[in-house]
Amino acid sequence: MAMSTRANAISREALARLPSLELGLYKAAAPAHFSRELLMRAVAYRLQEVALGGLRPEPQRRLRQIAREVNETGAVRIHARPALNPGTRLIREWQGRTYEVLVLDDGFSWQGSHYRSLSVIARTITGTPRSGPLFYGLKPNRSATRRSAYTAIAADAATDGSDATG
């Protein structure tokens, strides 16, 4: 039976049958406090996992590490962005030129020189203080997001005002 067909069949399963279906897929009973929605999502995920394979080893390792931290300290430190693997090439076009940076074990290489900071490279390229991760698109530009949200709110307010007078 195709995965999509099985997933559609799950949505038609009676609430009474869902825990036993989950028991067959997970080899353990679901906690009684789990909602029907959560059980459906868990069963659908498990069917997908069985059909297409589970998580790769690195995400599995990271999840085990997070669980261990939570058990030991009650908190977890999650990094905002994943570390760059050595050998990764970062490419940015700036004012009609293309700039390529190679990620190394201990920093970055650009135009044959070694740098410990991506921001130093971005500053050298642009001539102004810049965030290297932002310049190379490795982190979102929060101020641009705030500006666009403010513009949308202002546009909505202007539209609302014109409707009231018209």
In this prediction, residue 166 carries a pLDDT of 42
The answer to whether residues 159 and 153 touch, using CB atoms and an 8 Å cutoff, is no
Q: How many CB atoms within 10 Å of residue 94? A: 12
Nearest alpha carbon to residue 121 among 101, 150, 148, 94:
101
pLDDT above 90 as % of the chain: 19
Q: What is the pLDDT of residues 49-105, one digit of tens each?
A: 888 888 888 788 888 888 888 898 888 776 655 678 889 999 989 999 999 999 998
* 115: exposed, middle or buried (Cβ count in 10 Å: 0-12, 13-18, 19+): middle
Residue 137 backbone dihedrals phi, psi, to 5 degrees: 75, 20
Gap between the Cα atoms of 31 and 29, Å rounded = 6
Cβ pair 52, 62 in contact under 8 A: no
Specify the pTM. Answer: 0.41
